[in-house]
Amino acid sequence: MSRIVYVNGEFLPEAEAKISVFDRGFLFADGVYEVTSVLGGKLIDFEGHRARLHRSLTELEIPAPVGDEELLSIHRELVERNGIEEGMVYMQVTRGAADRDFIYPADPKPSLVLFTQVMSLTESPKAEKGLNIVSIEDQRWARRDIKTVQLLYPSMGKMAAKAAGADDAWMVEEGAVTEGTSNNAYIVTRDGKIVTRQLSNAILHGITRKAVLRFAREAQMVVEERAFTIEEAQDAAEAFVTSATTFVMPVVSIDGVTLGDGTPGPVTRRLREIYLDEAQKLGV
Ligand code: PDD
């Protein structure tokens, strides 16, 4: 079935949508993106994604292609035109087309592209079974706080996980876990503390992370924002990951070591439930 996508001011059937071969997103990965989940036809935590988009654009000195209100109305129109009840909206902003030059163009005309994807997010077999994780070295660039479209290393990491018969990979730098290939990583210690790496340029500042930590603290859970090792994770009571498309997703093994009884733990299950309840209240 053909989707309606949005490209630089136009809603078009996907086969008719075009971007220049000179677009710097294509030539230099000179672009940023956001993925916003859709539940019950509503955008979840749009405000968080909007704010992070602005941060990414500012860090790269890319002008915003449209104002905030227009951005929201484009998202909404796309959800409506494609009849999305559950799934996601992908939005990408690049510095736009210019003759190939490492130097940024003086007068950039940013490109804005959005498309939708139908996905089953709430009813997920993986949320029941949990993920098997392998660890890999973190070989990405050092500005992981900017949500750029350079996703080749995460893609290689997911391929390495697949080749090892696992579901995903956690990346390790100087002995400590940074994050998952497309999600933030957490453990629950044996005394019930939720541990996840502190914010810095080493990780993406997840929008789901922010919401989940807030909900956890509101539910009187203890949260520690600090680095942890794979060994500590293997010895933990539970582990999980968060992202816009997985919400709170349990992890049941790390590098072949089973956590607990090998099924999603109670803290993880509770956080997933709280997130699903609370996040839907934030839908717009
Ligand atoms: N990925 N860390 C990385 C490296 C990510 O790519 C993502 C999201 C996250 C979680 O961020 P958020 O909670 O804001 O989704 C953390 C998206 C979903 C993707 O690339 O598909």
179 CB under 6 A from ligand 1? Answer: yes
Domains of the chain: 4-118 (3.30.470.10), 125-281 (3.20.10.10)
Query: How far, in Å, is the centroid of ligand 1 from the Cα of 253?
Result: 21
pTM of the model: 0.97
Q: If you take atom 1 of ligand 1, which residue's CA is the nearest one?
A: 182
How many angstroms separate the alpha carbon of residue 274 from the centre of ligand 1? 20
- Could you tell me which of 211, 275, 186 has the C-alpha nearest to residue 48? 211
Distance 106 CA to ligand 1 centre (A): 31
Q: What are 160's two structure tokens?
A: 């390495």
The protein residue with its alpha carbon nearest to ligand 1, atom 20, reads: 182
Q: How far is the CA of 244 from the centre of ligand 1 (A)?
A: 7
Q: How far is CA 92 from CA 68, 141, 201, in A?
A: 14, 20, 21
pLDDT of amino acid 282: 82
For residue 183 and ligand 1, the question of a CB distance below 6 A is answered with yes
Cα separation, 189 vs 94, whole angstroms: 41
DSSP 3-state assignment of 180?
Answer: strand
Q: Are 246 and 123 in contact (CB under 8 A)?
A: no
Strands 111-118 and 87-94: antiparallel
Which amino acid is located at 65 in the chain? P
Q: Is 116 in the pocket of ligand 1 (CB under 6 A)?
A: no
Half-sphere exposure of 130 (CA within 13 A, CB side): 21
Q: What is the atom index within ligand 1 of the atom nearest the CA of 184?
A: 16
- Quote the pLDDT of residue 1: 74
Contact 243 CB / ligand 1 (< 6 Å): yes
User: Parallel, antiparallel, or unpaired: how do β-strands 87-94 and 176-180 relate?
Assistant: unpaired
CA–CA separation, 56 and 205 (whole Å): 11
pLDDT the model gives residue 139: 98
Do the Cβ atoms of 227 and 187 come closer than 8 Å? no
In the numeric block, the tokens 């009849």 are attached to 83
What is the mean pLDDT for each group of 10 consecutive residues in the chain (284 residues)? 95 98 98 98 98 98 98 98 98 98 98 98 96 98 98 98 98 98 98 98 98 97 98 98 98 98 98 95 90
Mutate to test the pocket of ligand 1, among 56, 183, 240 (most ligand atoms within 8 A of CB): 183
Q: Which positions are annotated as active-site residues?
A: 147
**Separation of CA 183 and ligand 1 centre (Å):** 5
- Quick: pLDDT tens for 160-185: 999 999 999 999 999 999 999 999 99
Ligand 1 atom with least separation from CA of 34? 17
Q: CB of 98 closer than 6 A to ligand 1?
A: no
Q: In Å, what is the CA distance from 267 to each residue of 16, 127, 191, 212, 260?
A: 47, 13, 11, 12, 12
Cβ 245 under 6 angstroms from ligand 1: yes
Residue nearest to atom 11 of ligand 1 (CA): 206
Q: What is the pLDDT of residues 206-227, one digit of tens each?
A: 999 999 999 999 999 999 999 9
Ligand 1 within 6 A of 92 CB?
no
